[in-house]
Structure 1
Amino acid sequence: MQSIKNTVLSRVFPSPLNEISKNTGISIATPDHETVTLISNRNHAKFDTAVTDHQSLYNYWVSHPDVILKAVSKVNAEYSSASVKKAVPKTQEDKEFDSYLTDITLKSINLTVAPLIKTVDDAVVIQSLPSLAFDAEKTVEYVSKLLASLPTGGQSLLSPSSSSPALPLTSGSSSNKFKNIIIALPTTYQSMQAAKEIKSKYNVRISASLVYTKAQALLAIESQVDFIELFVNALESFIGTSNASLPSSDSYVKLPLDKHTGFKFASELNDYLDHLRIAEDEAFKASKSSPKFSPAPSATKPKTSTDSDQTIVKDGEGENAKETEGENNG
């Protein structure tokens, strides 16, 4: 609780739905900028938005399958090179298959990030492997490989567009070669421990994803990540049709804002942090105004010289009980 107070509570803005601290912002994980604008304008809120690649990379690979084929070809060539000399796994049962698949994934990211970064205003969010969510050491290892796999270590990536609001950079990251990259980690205890090490090593921004509870949000804040990525559902819901094979415009119903999961959670989180901040402030003020603690005077009578020589032992306590009593009476 003390570390949360030091890193977050003293810096929570009193206005609900604003930035929750100087280092951690609420990121609405949706490509629907209209939704973000609607929520922000109605509630005078400030949300940091990142263009995530979770769906973008997938769509890019579907429309450009040659990227995957190129990645496989390049990895196979590297395995066969004189400097590596690794056998290319033939089946999924091969003990090196998972490592091989990871290398293909990293190579695919390498081939995709360069063109993709040119289409976004600020940064590309790259997700760690979900299978590593509960392994801090392997998460750090994978992210290290991921960052190293980016074009020239990330240095060739374009700078953020000056026409768009820039996402906050971590301290000293204005010259960071990874300033166009955000690493998304699932909000587990192990991944948040990995986040601390990754930020320390590479000064890259971290987004805590898959945040569904206040406990997760506080864990992410305490880990000093840059963004908390709340779950966001659409502002309209598919209700289906009974006599049509394809959905039509009347198959969707607009949801009121109070039914928006991300909005509700953001409100609850900020109210909760505000409550903690106020409670901490009141406790601090009370400690300052209360008189200093002084022990109450002893209710027992002062020892006399005779009393100090006596050893009081209850019946049955120790083998020397009778012997001690005899010595004191002697």
Structure 2
Amino acid sequence: MGGQTKPLTGWKPFDIPLSVKSENNHSGEMDVTVCIAAMCDENIIFAVSDQMLTAGDIQFQPQHMKAIDVTTSILALIAGDAGFQAELFNDLSAKVNFAVRQPDAPWLKVQEVAEAYVACHNAARNKRIEARLLSPLGLTYETFLSQQRNLAPELVSQVAQEMVAFDVPFCSTIFCGVDETGAHIFTVNGGKLSCEDNVGFSAIGSGGRHAESLLMTAEHSRSEPLADTLFRIFSAKKRAEVAPGVGDRTNLFMVGPALGSLVPVRTDVLDSLERLFKKQMQSERKALEKIHVEVREYIDEINRQAQEQHAQQAAAAKPPATD
């Protein structure tokens, strides 16, 4: 269907800044960013990210966004090594373009795109393994597998262990959007794919846990009202700004319920959400100050009662006066 291919004609995978990397993260390390996606009850997904990038000990917020419109129905939110992500999305864009340009091509499923990304990740890892471990031995993947019986067992065991333990730059990606089966969210962390449809949200990056904490505390689910979800995901991003490397600039997107409905949220809406968030923070500070006063009064009362009890016990323990 032509509708899902429209953004790809002008989409440039190299919009991911190739010269900037998140400190060449490897498996298990946290990316200095925050990206969040959340569903609501109308088969709609909101997705939000910051713009902060890290290069060595320098952090800045360029105009490059961490959101990539894979199709008009599917959005990718990226974190991790920017150069490696660019390589993966170059390969993914070729797969997507080939798929949607087939005659009578159906709308791509969110899961299909996420699985294609994982395949690109695995292929990139295998290419590096072949160049780093096998090529110096005059081998390829095919020859290593076919000639194992002719190689020394110790060499085969050592190479196999190094292949299993081989690390590539760590990347996290959220794929969210709608297809003919509804709204979906998938997360890929270090090449491992998970479906977040039952949870109803996903967050990645150094601010991810802050965002997840807010969404879990709010007991967010995919059946939440649209307005609640919109403000909640914006609040989750703003509160995640306390995490290292999370920028204060915000990009917000909406997709669903119709196919081909991916759009950025307007600037005036972001400004209104910012104003409401600040109002909420002021209310929370005032409420917290009131609670602190009440707690201090409570503690003072406990201390007063303890002093009275101590005085009474001291008076009771004092021996009676004698004539």
- TM-score scaled by length of structure 2: 0.29
Larger Rg: 1
Higher strand share: 2
Structure with larger RCO (C-alpha < 8 A, sep 6+): 2
